[in-house]
Structure 1
Amino acid sequence: INMIMQTAFFLISGILTKDEAIKAIKDAIKKTYGKKGEKVVNMNFEAVDAAVNNIVQVKVPKKITGHDLPPTVPEEAPEFVKEVTAKMIEGKGEELKVSQIPADGRWPTATSQWEKRNIAVHVPQWDAETCIQCGRCSLVCPHACIRIKVIDPADLKAAKAPKSFKTAPAVGKEFKGNLFTVQVSTEDCVGCTLCVGVCPARKKDKDGNKTDEAALKMVSNTDAVRKRESKNWKVFMELPEVDPSQANPTTIKGSQLRRPLFEFSGACAGCGETPYIKLVTQLFGDRMLIANATGCSSIYGGNLPTTPYAQRRDGRGPAWSNSLFEDNAEFGLGMRQTVNKLAHQAAELLEEVAAEKIITKKFVKELLSAPQKTQEDIEAQRERVAKLKEKLEASSLVIARRLLHVADYLVKKSVWIFGGDGWAYDIGYGGLDHVLASGENVNVLVLDTEVYSNTGGQMSKSTPRAAVAQFAAGGKRMPKKDMGMIFSIYGNVYVARVSLGANPQQLVKAVNEAEAYDGPSLIIAYAHCINHGFNLAFGLEQQKKAVACGHWPLYRYNPMLEEEGKNPLIIDSKEPTIKFADYALGENRYRMLKMSNPEMADQLMEQAQKDVERAWKLLKGRHKALEEG
């Protein structure tokens, strides 16, 4: 848009002649965007030429006209959202009174659902007959706009769903007699098309042959579509959630039948980071504490005026906080140690309360020995704690009051530490090492974009050799740091390297294993990024290529397997089948150097290929050594 506006300015102002202005602008385009490739330069040239032919005079009316704007947030939004959040969305935050701001700094979650930005030109449309009900579309959606649900027909009838609400008979013996649906929130969708691209189902023609048409296709987001799907979305959200005992969390479909507690963030369309966060909240969000390093994930995750972290219907959801860039690991460790201390205090107080005959010793044993490995276990423990609270509230003793304040810590909490590679590989690396070496039960998720994404694409120690980034304009000369192998050497740290686009089932398995491990865990997730310089609609394809060339081998190092006498290192990807260049040259961050310095580009690409081969050899060698004991 800057080139279009410049063209209009110079042609209207007459400061330069038309020919002089256009020549100067096009010279600037070559200089500014030349490194991004001929296609980008030509697109800007076309924009300038189009501007020349489309300048029209807009006369300022003598009388002010207009119409009333629609409400900023829906009428059914909570009072705080209507009175405070809406004002901030409108850019009128200065009108808020001090008394309207939370006094203790706690900010309500689940507010991004009220924005309804309506920014997608095209949105996905579901074909119920073609769908194979795999759940992949829901898994890859960066903004949690497309979801799946299994429905009891009686519930659907009670909800008085409109005829436009599509369903199909649910697949799977555990869902016999139920219905299945895929629903899109068109008002929140950003039109990235990842769901359409990942859909494996194919429509059949009249002869029974598969066509190229998937179970999802993009359609124009017209007023009629928005109104229809808005009604359908409301019905979908009011329908009961699937019973946890019916949804296996270790499968793609099972994980996606759980409500995401991270939704409608302000991340880029096609973002490679947010699906990982969303998945973790689907599996453990009702009992999560999150320490978030500064970066993309803290901006779209905790920036005002709205918050994408959400809640279940009972109000349970992730508790989130952001400290500094460099001390996030320590911040998360502090959360873990605090949870441990409060749980220990609650256990001690239980014994004292039992001594006062408020509860029985048998009930104390039930509370302290209850297994809390599955979601069903967690819900059962919550019921016990609810009964405990009833008894405590009925007592006037001080000891009962004290236990009441910490009783919720008798339910297992899941502590997560989120951050990007700039934090994990560079600025916060020392703290991360300290925390993982502590042996404490924390889970670390590194959203690895291989650059400092939020600040504009600066080089980190995760940036691969040959890539161009800020502070590496001539291509990075050193190889990528292999953080996964480094931390797996400790032997007591669970480490997984995952890629949503390459192997989603391995990702789901790794997240479940990491949380189940009673010790430190580290998940390093490949995240495609706008800084890589390609259309993010093809992000999942690039992830597949990163794995196929050996740049991003998939593996899980699970210390629990070693205790069972098994090899703790499981390699989940095959030997490289393509060259590093076949993957790398699909992105501008590598192509740039090919244009500006072809000789250096070839030299670094050759070295990068050797880096991949060396890393793969090291991984295989480690696996063999562990196999031999």
Structure 2
Amino acid sequence: VAALPPTVRQIAVLDRTKEPGAPGEPLYLDVVTALAEEWRRAHPQTALPAVIGGRYGLSSKEFHSGHVDAVFGELGNADPKNHFTVGIVDDVTHTSLPPKAPLPVEADSVFRGLFYGLGSDGTVGANKNSIKILGDTTDFHAQGYFVYDSKKAGAVTVSHLRFGPEPIRSTYLIEDARFVAVHQWQFLDRFDVLEHAQPGAVLLLNAPFKPEQVWDRLPRELQEGILEKELQVHAIDAYEVARELGLGRRINTIMQTAFFAISGVLPRAQALTKIKEAIRKTYGKQGEEIVRRNEAAVDRAADQIHRIDVPAQATATRRRPPLIRDGAPDFVERVTRVLMAGQGDLLPVSAFPPDGTWPSATARWEKRNLALEIPVWDPAICIQCNKCTLVCPHAAIRAKVYEPVALDGAPRTFRSVDLRSNELKGMKYTIQVAPEDCTGCTLCARVCPARDKSNPRHKALNMESQPPLRERERESFAFFLELPQTIRGSEAVRADGTRQPVRIDVKGSQLLEPLFEFSGACAGCGETPYLKLLTQLFGDRLLIANATGCSSIYGGNLPTTPYAINADGRGPAWSNSLFEDNAEFGLGFRLSLDQATGEVRELLRQSATMVGDTLTEEILASLQQDETEIRHQRERVALLRTRIQELESRGEMDRRLARRLYGLSEHLVHRSVWIVGGDGWAYDIGFGGVDHVLSLERNINLLVLDTEVYSNTGGQASKATPMGATAKFAMGGKAVGKKDLGLMAMAYGHVYVAQVALGAKDAQTVRALQEADSYPGPSLVIAYSSCIAHGYDMADSLDHQKMASESGLWPLYRFDPRRSLTGENPLQLESKTPTIPFAKFAETETRFKMLMKANPARAKELLSRADRALRGRYGLYEQLSHLHLGAADATPSAEDSGSSNGKGGASA
């Protein structure tokens, strides 16, 4: 207080916290108290200053010079607002101060650059290397802020870089950039990339066109912005350079080279030398070939940068398309669209749902256009196996069967072919890609088994450049979505007139609507195909308790949600609690469902004479053992609900009873409860809960998406990491083997256990998930999930899954205690004795190769030990599968599992 000059009349105190229930925030209260107690002593002749308090920067909201200006402006008012906020638009409690434009407070000597990249294209990493180069080798001070969301890949990243001769203390994002680099061409149609470019700035584009074509390809808004701000424009086709050098989609080195070559922050020769030094440091452990390719990219990029001639006026007729297409729900248009545009901070408080609920099925509106190439279907070769749709991580390629009459009004380029089926003769069949939602991972084309006999390189699915196909395939996909969807539990009519349920195998499952689509997971993700398959097999009956991790991030992300709804407006129910308590959280799902099911069954018995004895008996007796039975149960429940409404309206049923019975009636249909998470949860942090759930006899299912590392946090070792693999916290190679979670669960005797890998045996995966759902006790399905942390091109992930099984790392099996009822061995071993050495598999993945390069002797020792251990484990499984156990019954009964029908309803 003594340090304050006596002329102070007003003070504003800003807290970066909110204390609900307190008369003010901590720093504000400290200042008020200090002034009240000490001001008279320090300045006895002057009046006590007025103090106002405010909040800033909560949830990382921006705080820049314009906000400071707004605070000083408020202090100048005759009656300044107390307990205000800055950085938000509060139109509900009206606490916010009117925002002001940022002031030009940065020195001209500071270089300010903005870099727009795509998650996983290497832009952020390259910019961090640029900071190190300039900070470590020059007298420049450097600063970097990196803005990106929680999408695993494919998200927009914006790097804010500052370099200057003086210390940089700008704790806010760049508002007037001297250099703007756009590393992804599609961003030009989605964002105003020139919003923060200062007049006369340099614009660098990654343009997939010849230099003379670039200007004419720009949307009119961008051309007008370039002319208005008199920007210099440079372009390079970074993807072409990357393709030539075998770098795939990694354009970071190329664009970094272009930045240094154009910006002039370092002499060109010195910059190229420093970049190559950074490459060797960054990629050295990944092998000499990776280093060589990146060094070659530096030299190649330096010669491929072109200055674009800017005419005197805009010439384009094409304008930037709307971010959200017509027909979007109101919430998507009002809120989601603004978030997708990167303008979420501009949303007022009133735009957000008061109860915190967000609509699902919103990922379909995002249309990120990530794919450089998309699959094109050749119906003449296709064998209609549906493997392509099964392995697609993003539900971007789909199959449908429909009546020929549905093709009326089809676009001219829409493709269809006669269905090959003895059960559904006369039907049509189509494979269709969603061109703007496909990520270009190529898994569908890789897995396709159908080849042209005259040209074996030509398959039923072939990857082709996306831009020329976008409009055509967009129209076709829109028509495809309008085609009738296969009805869950439908029946096929045989030639003799008899009916039979449509088989839900690999082919049949992919005719069912996926209710998990277009997520923010990495291109080629190994986890999402299992989640998508769950939604196809169990539809809107599915309840998911999701552990924190990759699957909760891409599963419950904003601004869009991949879990979708069907034509009836129903979809899977999903929730996420914590990392460590997910098993207990999911158990709560099961217990509450059992309680509700038991209550509604009892209420139905009490009301049997009113709603009808026959209907009551049919509902209570339904076993719901397949989708056809479940569909019939849905029809019965719909009839029950109609009768309840009629009885209540006529006064023939007590209103409280009618409302209670009606509200609980949905629980008469079997719900499939799944506890989902990664190996970090199931093997490590949440293992205690997993073990507890498995020790019970409740009808609950666990799906472990096993990537063998903590994928979400950057690839740390877990107890699922195999011996010999390197990972964070195990860079010297993991010295002990992988925990055998499946064998531990089998030891209980009453747990259904399966270990699956979609790329190794897809039919077994589908069968295991169905058996787990039908089993009346706890089920554990452990799914091999390929991950970028393994260190290989994700386009090859299905082959790696197959090799993992062949090497003995990932034996495939199903352990079904119900088989013991007929004297069969519960364990069915479904992969062969290891046919390749484990070291042969290991040498195809960087997680093992890093140790081979850094410490060959230790790598050889660990891989040799791992091979012996894996073969020994397989031998143990083989012995267990051949044991003759005799007839026994370890299967939970309906009463034991809390189910009167074997499907999860509590006995009553």
- Indicate the TM-score class for this superposition, using the shorter chain for normalisation: over 0.9
CA distance in 1: counterparts of 2:423 and 2:385, whole angstroms = 15
Pick aligned residue for 1:203 from 446, 449, 452: 452
Cα distance in 1 for partners of 2:378, 2:256 equals 45
Deviations 1:94-113 (A, max 9, x none): 33343433333332111111
- After superposition, the C-alpha distances for 1:549-580 in whole angstroms (9 at most, x for unaligned) are 11111000001111222110001111111110
Is 1:46 paired with 2:296?
Answer: yes
Asked if the contact 2:590/2:699 (under 8 Å) is kept, the reply is yes
Give TM-score, length-normalised by structure 1: 0.95
Deviation at 1:622, TM superposition (A): 1.6
The superposition leaves residues 499-541 of structure 1 with CA deviations (integer Å, 9 ceiling, x where unpaired) of: 1111001111111111110111011011111011000100000
Aligned to 2:497: none
Q: Larger RCO: Structure 1 or Structure 2 (Cα < 8 Å, ≥ 6 residues apart)?
A: 1
Separation of aligned partners in 1, 2:571 and 2:445: 29
Contact 1:290 1:332 survives alignment (8 Å): yes
Of 271, 277, 281, the match for 1:31: 281
Show structure 1 runs of 5+ residues with no match. none
Alignment partner of 1:185 is 2:434: yes
Displacement of 1:598 after TM fit? 0.9
Match of 2:357 in 1: 106
State the Cα deviation string for residues 366-408 of structure 1 (Å, max 9, x = none): 2211221111211211121112212222305221111121111
After TM superposition, list the pairs within 5 Å mapping 1:416-435 onto structure 2: 416-435=674-693
What percent of counterpart residues are identical? 52
CA contact 2:600–2:661 (8 Å) conserved in 1: yes
Give the CA deviation at 1:409.
0.7
Correspondence for 1:528 = 786
The residue aligned with 1:337 is 591
CA-CA distance at 1:9 after TM superposition: 5.2
Contact kept? 2:726, 2:851, Cα under 8 Å: yes
Q: SS at the partner of 1:358?
A: helix
* CA shift for structure 1 position 345: 1.2
Contact 2:540 2:573 in 1 (8 A): no
Q: Does 1:268 align with 2:519?
A: no
Q: By how many angstroms is 1:231 displaced?
A: 1.4
SS at match of 1:547: helix
CA distance in 2, matches of 1:13, 1:74: 38
Question: Which residue of the partner structure matches residue 624 of structure 2?
Answer: 372
Asked if 1:241 is matched to 2:509, the reply is no
Report if aligned partners of 1:285, 1:318 keep a CA contact under 8 Å in 2.
yes
- Corresponding letter in the other structure for 2:831: S
TM superposition shift of 1:68? 4.7
Deviation at 1:361, TM superposition (A): 3.0
Aligned to 1:566: 824
- Structure 1 partner of 2:759: 501
Residue 116 (structure 1) aligned with residue 340 (structure 2): no
Q: What amino acid sits opposite 1:491 in the alignment? A: G
TM-score, normalised by the number of residues in structure 2: 0.66
Task: Name the counterpart of 2:749.
Answer: 491
Task: Name the amino acid aligned to 1:360.
Answer: G
Cα distance change, pair 12–401 in 1 and its aligned pair in 2 (3 A): closer
When you count helix as a share of all residues, which structure comes out higher? 1
Q: How does 1:331-410 map to 2 (within 5 A)?
A: 331-354=585-608, 358-394=610-646, 395=648, 397-410=655-668
- Post-superposition shift, 1:14? 5.6
Is the contact between residue 352 and residue 399 of structure 1 (CA under 8 Å) also seen in structure 2? no
- What residue in structure 1 maps to residue 564 of structure 2? 310
Q: 1:16 to 1:362 in 2, by over 3 A?
A: closer
Q: Deviations over 1:49-69 (max 9, x none)?
A: 234334556799999999753
Which amino acid counterpart does residue 43 of structure 1 have in structure 2?
R
Q: What does residue range 146-225 of structure 1 map to in structure 2 within 5 Å?
A: 146-157=397-408, 160-205=409-454, 211-223=456-468, 225=469
Q: CA deviation at 1:84?
A: 1.5
CA gap 1:606/1:278 in 2 versus in 1, 3 angstroms: same
* 2:604 partner letter: L
Cα drift, residue 226 of structure 1? 1.3
Q: Which amino acid in 1 is paired with 2:612? A: T
The residue aligned with 2:378 is 127
Deviation of 1:39 after TM superposition, in Å, equals: 2.2
* Alpha-carbon distance in 2 for matches of 1:441, 1:245: 27
Contact kept, 8 Å, 2:825 with 2:883, in 1: the verdict is no
Q: Which amino acid aligns with 2:620?
A: L
Maintained 8 Å contact 1:329/1:417: yes
Name the structure with the higher strand share: 2
5 Å matches for 1:426-445? 426-445=684-703
Contact 1:347 1:368 in 2 (8 A): yes
Alignment of 1:403-482 (within 5 A): 403-482=661-740
1:257 aligns to 2:511 (yes or no): yes
Quote how far apart the aligned CAs of 1:348 are.
Answer: 1.8
Instruction: Measure, in 2, the Cα distance between the counterparts of 1:111 and 1:322.
Output: 18
Q: 2:343 aligned to 92, 105, 130, which one?
A: 92
Shift, 1:7, TM fit: 3.9
Question: Residue 162 of structure 1 contacts residue 232 of structure 1 at CA under 8 Å; is this kept in 2?
Answer: yes
What's 2:150 paired with?
none
- The residue correspondences of 1:538-553 to structure 2 (distance < 5 A) are 538-553=796-811
- The aligned counterpart of 1:290 is 544
CA contact (8 A) 1:353 1:400 kept: no
Give yes or no for contact 2:820–2:886 (8 Å, CA) kept in 1. Answer: no
Higher alpha-carbon deviation: 376-385 or 274-283: 376-385
Aligned length: 620
* Structure 1 match to 2:581: 327
Per-residue CA deviation, residues 157-206 of structure 1 (Å, 9 max, x unaligned), is: 2xx1123111111111111111111111111111111111111111122x
- Of stretches 34-43 and 88-97 in structure 1, the one that deviates more from structure 2 is 88-97
Which stretch shows the higher mean deviation, 444-453 or 17-26? 17-26
How far 1:250 moved relative to its partner? 3.8
SS of the aligned residue for 2:385 comes to coil
Unaligned runs of 5+ in 2: 1-122, 127-252, 493-500, 888-908
Could you say which residue in structure 1 is the equivalent of 2:85? Answer: none
Cα–Cα, structure 1 residues 545 and 628, in superposed 2: closer, same or farther, change >3 Å? farther
C-alpha contact (below 8 Å) 2:823/2:886 kept by paired residues:
no
8 A contact 1:448–1:526 mirrored in 2:
yes
Q: CA deviation at 1:13?
A: 6.1
Are residues 231 and 14 of structure 1, via their aligned partners in 2, closer, same or farther at CA, if it must alter by over 3 Å?
Answer: closer
The separation in 2 between residues aligned to 1:148 and 1:8, in whole angstroms, is 43
Give, in whole Å, the separation in 1 of the partners of 2:274 and 2:532. Answer: 47
Give the 3-state SS of the residue equivalent to 1:173 in structure 2. coil
SS in 1 for 2:452: coil
Given residue 335 of structure 1, which amino acid in structure 2 is its aligned partner? F
Match of 2:835 in 1: 577
- DSSP-derived class of the 2:458 partner: coil
Q: Corresponding residue for 1:226?
A: 470
The residue identity in structure 2 corresponding to 1:71 is: P
Structure 1 residues 306 and 249: CA distance shift in structure 2, 3 A: farther
SS in 2 for 1:573: coil
CA–CA separation in structure 1 for the residues paired with 2:886 and 2:643: 56
Is contact 1:150–1:175 with CA below 8 Å preserved after alignment? no
Cα distance in 2 for residues equivalent to 1:517 and 1:451: 29
Do 1:145 and 1:188's aligned partners in 2 also have CA atoms closer than 8 Å?
yes
